[in-house]
């Protein structure tokens, strides 16, 4: 196994997540696609740490921080989604225009 | 040889379930595919020899985030979404943007192609603990404040309005 195998895999997962963020109409689907993109970045961190810096673990530490931040992000994001859903009764992003003043 | 077979099987699982997350019309199916995809990424971490990240991925992502998203899907979804269109009409420019991004990504990472691992993976928990409690102690404490703030924010947004 070479490094480029893992890089191509993570690039594909990131691209799929990017496509989801750009095209999903559902806000929960967009949040799930963001999780895919974060996971692709995690694969990259661990693969670079394994292939370029064996014996050091800074990439692993960064991945732990990313996982924690992703958990915090999804908690706040889903709480916001539920708060908006209680008011607007819709999960589609084109209906979310309550900030227009 | 076994490593190669396992890598391609995990890649197939990850890519197919990621496509399912993005393309399936029903949100419930998307959330289940997301759990499968996160478990496959955990398998990739295990095949890269990072044991602690593997355990953290299973615990936090598959056990926490996927289940949380499933709960929200159960609370906020309705049955009519399988009939309505779930992909916006701007899918063709998005596809062009994504292919341009992937092409650029391949160009950038071509520099690293053909690099293979020299050493066997070793247990990493002790070294990660030394980093987290030594050199990275301040970010480690800051991230706990971030978690506390996000928990408080979720409670604030989620509570009922005072009558």
pLDDT confidence of B47, banded at 50, 70, 90? very high
Please give, rounded to a whole number of angstroms, the shortest distance from the CA of B163 to a CA of chain A. Answer: 15
B79 and B10 assigned to the same domain: yes
CATH 1.10.287.3510 fits A3-95, yes or no: yes
Cβ within 8 Å, pair B65-A42: no
Question: How many other CB atoms are there within 10 angstroms of residue A86's CB atom?
Answer: 14
Name chain B contacts of A41, Cβ cutoff 8 Å.
none
- The per-residue pLDDT for B79 is 67
Q: What is the ipTM of this complex?
A: 0.91
Residue B104 lies in a domain: no
A13 DSSP assignment: H
Range of the domain at B72: 1-83
Helix extents (H) in chain B = 2-23, 27-47, 51-56, 66-76, 91-109, 125-133, 137-158
CATH number at residue B19: 1.20.120.1200
Structural domain count, chain B: 2
The three-class DSSP label of residue B10 is helix
**Hey, is the C-beta of A16 within 8 angstroms of any chain B C-beta?**
yes
B131-153 per-residue burial string, b: 16 or more CB within 10 A, e: under 16: bbeeebeeebeebeebeeebeee
- The per-residue pLDDT for B1 is 83
Segment B79-91, tens digit of pLDDT: 666 677 778 888 8
Please give, rounded to a whole number of angstroms, the shortest distance from the CA of A100 to a CA of chain B. Answer: 21
Segment B134-155, tens digit of pLDDT: 999 999 999 999 999 999 998 8
B1 and B74 assigned to the same domain: yes
B77 and B141 assigned to the same domain: no
Domain boundary among B67, B83, B99: B83
Residues with Cβ within 8 Å of B108's Cβ and at least 6 positions away in sequence, in order, are none
B15 and B74 assigned to the same domain: yes
Residue B117 lies in a domain: no
Among the partner-chain residues B11, B31, B52, the one whose CB lies closest to the CB of A60 is B52
């Amino acid at each position: 196994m070479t490094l480029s195998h893992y890089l191509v895999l993570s690039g594909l997962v990131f691209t799929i997540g990017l496509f989801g963020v750009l095209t999903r109409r559902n806000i929960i689907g967009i949040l799930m696609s963001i999780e895919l993109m974060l996971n692709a970045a995690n694969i990259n961190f661990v693969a670079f740490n394994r292939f370029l810096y064996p014996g050091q673990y800074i990439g692993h530490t960064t991945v732990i921080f990313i996982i924690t931040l992703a958990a915090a992000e999804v908690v706040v994001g889903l709480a916001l989604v539920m708060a908006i859903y209680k008011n607007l009764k819709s999960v589609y992003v084109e209906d979310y225009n309550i900030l227009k003043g | 040889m076994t490593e190669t077979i396992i890598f391609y099987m995990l890649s197939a699982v990850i890519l197919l379930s990621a496509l399912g997350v993005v393309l399936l019309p029903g949100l419930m199916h998307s959330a289940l595919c997301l759990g499968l995809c996160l478990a496959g990424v955990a398998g990739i971490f295990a095949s890269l020899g990072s044991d602690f990240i593997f355990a953290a991925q299973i615990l936090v992502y598959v056990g926490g985030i996927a289940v949380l998203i499933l709960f929200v899907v159960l609370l906020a979804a309705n049955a009519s979404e399988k009939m309505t269109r779930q992909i916006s009409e701007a899918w063709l420019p998005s596809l062009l943007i994504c292919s341009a991004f992937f092409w650029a990504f391949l160009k950038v990472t071509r520099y690293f192609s053909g690099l293979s691992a020299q050493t066997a993976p070793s247990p990493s928990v002790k070294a990660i603990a030394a980093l987290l409690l030594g050199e990275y102690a301040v970010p480690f404490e800051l991230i706990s404040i971030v978690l506390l703030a996000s928990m408080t924010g979720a409670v604030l947004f989620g509570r009922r309005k005072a009558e």
